[in-house]
Amino acid sequence: MPSALDFRIISIGTLAAHPLWDERSPVRTGHATTTLIRSGDKTIIVDPGLPAPALKARLHERSGLTPEQVTHVFLTSFHPEARRGIELFAHADWLISEQERESVGVPIAQSLGRLAETQEMAKQTGEAFHEDQQATLEVLQRDIAILARTQASPDSLSDDIDLFPLPGYSHGSCGLLLKGMSDTTLITGDTIATKEHLDQGKVLSGCADREKAMESFGEVIEIADLIVPGRDNLLINIAGSMRGGMG
C-alpha cells in the first residue's frame, strides 16, 4: 500500500551572513527553510521563517493551500528566524520539543522581568526608557506569547513522522524523521545549515554546545538519505547513499 506521506520545500532559507562564503557580517535577511509535510489528516509546516504575508503567498504558490488548512506547526528550534511567520497559522497546533521549550522559557522570562523592572523604575524616577529598550521589551513580550502558545511535541506526529532530537545547535533543537517507502528524510533545522556545511562537516559557530552539535551532525549523516537543512534546499546525503549501496 503506498505511503500517504508527502513533503515539499515551501521556502528555501538563507543565512544573514554565510561564513563559508567568507561573509563576516550580515548582507541579507536570514530566514529558515520552510517545509510542508502531509501525512494522513495532518498538514504540517516546519519552521515558518518568512514574514507572514510572504509565507502566505509562497504556501499557495508551492502547494495551493491556505494557512487555514495547516493543522500543525513544528519548530526545530525557537530561533526567531525559524518562527517569524508563525502567527499566520493561528488555527494550527504549534509544536516544539519539550527540552527546547523548557530551556528557552526561563531565560526569556528573566530578560523580560529585568527589562520590565527597568521600565517601571524609569516611570518612577522620570528617567528615559529608550526606544531600543522599548523595542526589545516588545520582542520579548512576543517571544513569551509565542512560547506560551506552543505545546511540547509528542514523540511521533504520525505513523511516518518521528521526532529526532538534535541537541547542540540549541539545547533542545530537534528534527523530524520522515519514513518514506524507499528512503529516509531528516529535517534538521540548523544542525546542518547549508550544503557547504554538509560538505565540509561543519556546524554553525553560534551553537549552544558545539560538541553536541557535531555529535548530532554525525547522527544525521548516519541515518538520512535526504536532508532538509536549516538554510538551504533539499540535499542528497552522499555518504548515506554510499552506505545504502554497500549494504
**Could you say which DSSP state residue 84 is in?**
T
What superfamily in CATH does domain 6-97+153-246 come from? Ribonuclease Z/Hydroxyacylglutathione hydrolase-like (3.60.15.10)
Q: What is the pLDDT of residues 134-177, one digit of tens each?
A: 888 888 999 999 999 999 999 999 999 999 999 999 999 999 99
Model's pTM, two decimal places? 0.91
Q: How confident is the model at residue 192 (pLDDT cuts 50, 70, 90)?
A: very high
Q: How many angstroms separate the Cα of 243 from the Cα of each of 46, 107, 154?
A: 28, 42, 30
Evaluated on CA atoms 152, 189, 61, 40, the torsion sign reads negative
Residues 6+ apart with CB under 8 A from 99: 165, 167, 171, 172, 174
Domain residue spans of the chain: 6-97+153-246, 100-146
Distance CA 190, CA 79 (A): 9
Nearest one of 25, 29, 8 to 17, comparing CA atoms: 25
- Residue 123, class by beta-carbon neighbours within 10 Å (0-12 exposed, 13-18 middle, 19+ buried)? exposed
Show the cell assigned to 14.
538563507
**Could you say which DSSP state residue 208 is in?**
S
Nearest one of 230, 236, 225 to 194, comparing CA atoms: 230
Instruction: Report the share of the chain in percent with pLDDT over 70.
Output: 95
Q: What is the pLDDT of residues 56-98, one digit of tens each?
A: 999 999 999 999 999 999 999 999 999 999 999 999 999 999 9
Q: How many residues does the chain have?
A: 247
- Stretch 101-117: mean pLDDT, rounded? 89
